[in-house]
Structure 1
């Protein structure tokens, strides 16, 4: 006997990247965390928090953070919806849009949480394959006629970015919502924010987990016209963002100089790490994110993943089509990246 809906029994839950136990020292290059500390201004807010914030319920719309995001992005605060990480916004979109009669569409491989959340809602899923170079299959995505279509740009796990003109074409031809998931936009050369002004069916998702070094805080937000956000507000949890998170997040967001400086360091390291991997025979896709998708020339990717883990270095391995011969590697500090290259060099002659 099962207590759950049939679709819940049949689905596999989302599998997050491995988190080592507290106190275990590893080089952690598997979950795309920023290797540098959060903004000192954000840390100062955390250190000076008033206990009264814990006694009272938080602002249900996280107004302080909306004001900060409005100032930084140049959009009205009413166009911003805050969530417990950008995953919370994804959940709202699925709650509002997905069911058995309405397609949830996305290209694959991509962020697998899209599939998990659609399965939870018992949604009708259409997965459109990318080619080996991760060129967006625009016509097939349009033909799938999604109630909601998810495009990660830069994409995970490939790191590749989608040209704005292709996203514009999608937005113009889709009858449903286009979600442009920009979790890694802080490491990219362009963004799709302009589409929000142009189309009322577009929502841009951002997070403070990557560029702002706040993955443990769980804070993200969506930008869209108020008519679209209105439906999402109906289905969001009543107090979905805690008062501590949105106060710290506002300080981090306003400290753009610090965020940009760290992002530039990561982009420089990304180029160097790409070159080093290519010298070892890896094929590396051009990345606009803080990670690389790298295909080894000789050793099996799964073997390399386990071998690195045995040496105290975690990278991400996906045992699924189009990815089972590749590793996704977060760009770490210069010291962490050097340790990775050394570990990849040493074991080449042995199993």
Structure 2
């Protein structure tokens, strides 16, 4: 067979996303950290009133309408914002702009495994530094690694913990490369790192509308950084990466903070209840500031529970990798979905 690909592409493994059942399938889906509630009615109204002209013409290339709306919500100038086809695209843009063979991409583990895939695509050197058992960030080791790009997720996935503000400040002040603070789950916590963007020009904060705004299917994310940093990222992004419909719907969604905050409050309350219920079943639960829980079964037989729950029509996430192979990541669903999960777990614990 003819080999068409670069050697690093041949050697790499593909990123494996969470399972996506077919539409209409009666599945309780708690494996991809999607919001269980519908998007803002204001966003749905935009969708129902699409002008055909939006489809005929190319969209505004920088997502200007959305940038203006996000600017008002966040209190940052609109030219400090870059919009992407999901936050994943922006992660790819950063790697394309800043990483290459001979340069390092650094991040703690366990975390979002897409970072490894993106770095492998650029044949960059990958430095994975283990978290401690209590998920304290290995700050000194990360600084010493001297990455051209350093990724930090806060709240982190799959642990759900928030990285201490003083640790992020230390990284920002001592790293010579780009510090990417991935805040995909920021809507579910009280802390954020946006202030660091104004203080350090090597910091970019990445956010998404997939989680807090219930728009995972829309594919819209954004980054906030000093225009000096964004200048290089705009050079490598696709010309028209944000479609007109996504921009319009996203603008309505981010402008409706009242609705988003109401949904987030329900998820936080459900998170507390589900954590309590799982602890009563003997699961070890890590404190979470996200819309999911990291859970360790009493007998640490995580793969068994994953497989059996799947048979019962409940999808959760299992990572077969060191440090996670005895744990499960469970997305917070509605109270009814969470109760169905708990009842299924009770049955499995009683019949095992």
Q: Which category describes the TM-score, using the shorter chain as reference length? A: over 0.9
Cα-to-partner distance string for 1:115-141 (whole Å, 9 max, x where unaligned): 000001111110000111111110000
Quote the Cα distance in structure 1 between the aligned partners of 2:221 and 2:26: 29
Cα-to-partner distance string for 1:265-296 (whole Å, 9 max, x where unaligned): 10010011101111111111100000000001
Equivalent positions of 1:46-57 (< 5 A) are 46-57=47-58
Name the counterpart of 1:97. 98
**CA shift for structure 1 position 333:** 0.2
**CA shift for structure 1 position 113:** 0.4
Unaligned stretches of 5+ residues in structure 1: none
Cα-to-partner distance string for 1:170-208 (whole Å, 9 max, x where unaligned): 000000010000000000111000000110000000000
Name the counterpart of 2:328. 327
1:84 aligns to 2:85 (yes or no): yes
Cα-to-partner distance string for 1:143-190 (whole Å, 9 max, x where unaligned): 000001000000011111111111001000000010000000000111
Secondary structure in 2 aligned to 1:12?
coil
Name the counterpart of 1:34. 35
Secondary structure in 1 aligned to 2:273?
helix
1:116 aligns to 2:113 (yes or no): no
Moved more, 94-103 or 318-327: 94-103
Name the counterpart of 1:217. 218
Is the 2:209–2:216 contact (alpha carbons within 8 Å) kept by the matching residues of 1? yes
Name the counterpart of 2:303. 302
Secondary structure in 1 aligned to 2:245?
helix
Name the counterpart of 2:158. 157
Is the 2:300–2:327 contact (alpha carbons within 8 Å) kept by the matching residues of 1? no
**CA shift for structure 1 position 350:** 3.1
Name the counterpart of 1:203. 204
Equivalent positions of 1:155-194 (< 5 A) are 155-194=156-195
Name the counterpart of 2:251. 250
**CA shift for structure 1 position 220:** 0.2
Quote the Cα distance in structure 2 between the aligned partners of 1:200 and 1:249: 27
Quote the Cα distance in structure 2 between the aligned partners of 1:70 and 1:188: 20
Name the counterpart of 1:22. 23
Cα-to-partner distance string for 1:207-240 (whole Å, 9 max, x where unaligned): 0000000000000000000000000000000101
Secondary structure in 1 aligned to 2:274?
helix
For these two proteins, the number of residue pairs brought into alignment is 351
Quote the Cα distance in structure 2 between the aligned partners of 1:262 and 1:196: 27
Name the counterpart of 2:343. 342
**CA shift for structure 1 position 60:** 0.5
RMSD of the TM alignment (CA)? 0.7
**CA shift for structure 1 position 23:** 1.9
Quote the Cα distance in structure 1 between the aligned partners of 2:194 and 2:57: 34
Cα-to-partner distance string for 1:228-270 (whole Å, 9 max, x where unaligned): 0000000000101100001100000000000001001100100
Quote the Cα distance in structure 2 between the aligned partners of 1:62 and 1:23: 33
**CA shift for structure 1 position 99:** 1.1
Cα-to-partner distance string for 1:34-69 (whole Å, 9 max, x where unaligned): 000000000001111100000000000000000000
Secondary structure in 2 aligned to 1:119?
helix
Secondary structure in 1 aligned to 2:120?
helix
1:73 aligns to 2:71 (yes or no): no
Unaligned stretches of 5+ residues in structure 2: none
Cα-to-partner distance string for 1:55-106 (whole Å, 9 max, x where unaligned): 0000000000000000000000000000000001001001011111111000
Is the 2:300–2:326 contact (alpha carbons within 8 Å) kept by the matching residues of 1? no
**CA shift for structure 1 position 22:** 2.1
Secondary structure in 1 aligned to 2:340?
helix
Name the counterpart of 1:232. 233
**CA shift for structure 1 position 299:** 5.4
Quote the Cα distance in structure 2 between the aligned partners of 1:44 and 1:83: 22
